[in-house]
Amino acid sequence: MTSVQTEVVEDPKGLLNEDDHMRDMERLRMEIVAIRQPFDSVMRVTGRIEPVDPVTWTLPNVAVRIEVESPAGQRPVSRVYTIRRYDSALGEVEIDFVLHDDDSPAMRWLHAVQPGDDVWMTGPRPHFVPDHASGKQAAIFADETAIPAVFAILEAWPADATGTVWIEAGSLAAVDELPEVEGVEVHILQRAKDEAAGTTGRLFAAARSAVADVSGWTVWAAGERQEMRDLRNHFRAAGMARDDLKVLGYWKKGTSSSELDRMRLAEYARMRESGLSMDDMRDADIAV
Ligand SMILES: Cc1cc2nc3c(=O)[nH]c(=O)nc-3n(C[C@H](O)[C@H](O)[C@H](O)COP(=O)(O)OP(=O)(O)OC[C@H]3O[C@@H](n4cnc5c(N)ncnc54)[C@H](O)[C@@H]3O)c2cc1C
């Protein structure tokens, strides 16, 4: 078991609380309303919130940082998750936690939390969506951790846009829940029971074979960090413009998110010292 101590990310200069990092996000309390397991690989948490600015929560693909462990006198240990759905009438959010076998902060929190509990979180941070304004068809590559983002993106899909979605998942049920959208094809790349997430390279393989002529496509991709790096490098080498590539590593096989957060913070601190801001951060350039 990793100790809470090693998961704490120190921020001695308080950079993460400054406006440049916070933008319009708020730290707010979420009351857990329900926890259920819609299928084997996911626990779905419904929580009630009272946001200052409810409108931002309705945007497709916004993320929050949930304080999953709160050691006394230290910064909380937090993990990033996507708001799958926000019901503004009820003030409720839905968050899907992909289950994995590691004894990790998010999994420990998830296995202990009960309806009626409170948890603090910070958000929402609007994340990228396919660039429909480009007029190109969208190619979407996602593993399970990005299905909530794909769900929200498909729910807000513009009537005249076209796209193809490739999803790697261990369970077909996770994909069956996605809304059917005219103009969007969905391909499932199913993992066998003995294959671990983040090891098959199937999203990368699909990207290479299905999107041969890059000129007509704009890409949205999220999943395991090394696979996303390979995918981005491939499309850059194939001549795709940076603006047509919205790719983010959501987690890294064998590495705690606290370690990724430490490296992100170190890079952010370097940028701020050079007079730059959050807008200049490029997650892909961080060497992990
Ligand atoms: C913008 C963004 C949005 C995200 N949205 C979601 C979401 O909606 N749902 C979701 O489930 N995740 C989402 N993630 C990914 C999630 O933050 C990570 O999976 C996170 O590492 C989980 O924290 P943990 O404490 O369980 O594991 P950590 O302490 O970070 O890692 C411990 C070990 O577990 C492994 N691990 C972590 N996650 C997985 C996984 N999914 N499968 C297999 N092994 C894993 C790591 O490789 C490491 O070896 C998102 C990430 C980002 C950046």
The amino acid present at 191, given as its one-letter code, is: R
| Fold (topology level) of 132-251 | Rossmann fold (3.40.50)
Q: Are 61 and 128 in contact (CB under 8 A)?
A: yes
State if residue 98 touches ligand 1 by the CB under 6 angstroms criterion: yes
Strand ranges of the sheet holding 26-39, from the earlier edge strand across to the other edge: 77-82, 62-69, 118-126, 26-39, 42-48, 92-98, 85-87
Between CA 63 and CA 95 the distance in angstroms is: 10
State if residue 107 touches ligand 1 by the CB under 6 angstroms criterion: yes
State if residue 47 touches ligand 1 by the CB under 6 angstroms criterion: no
Q: Give domain limits for the chain.
A: 4-127, 132-251
Q: Are 200 and 168 in contact (CB under 8 A)?
A: yes
Can you list the residues of the chain whose pLDDT is less than 50? Answer: none
* Dist. CA 170 → ligand 1 center (Å): 16
Report the pLDDT value the prediction gives residue 284, as an integer from 0 to 100: 82
Report the pLDDT value the prediction gives residue 271, as an integer from 0 to 100: 92
- As a CATH number, domain 4-127 is 2.40.30.10
Give pLDDT tens digits for 187-200: 999 999 999 999 99
Report the pLDDT value the prediction gives residue 2, as an integer from 0 to 100: 64
State if residue 151 touches ligand 1 by the CB under 6 angstroms criterion: no
The residue contributing the CA closest to ligand 1 atom 36 is 253
State if residue 111 touches ligand 1 by the CB under 6 angstroms criterion: no
Report the pLDDT value the prediction gives residue 288, as an integer from 0 to 100: 82
State if residue 130 touches ligand 1 by the CB under 6 angstroms criterion: no
Report the pLDDT value the prediction gives residue 24, as an integer from 0 to 100: 87
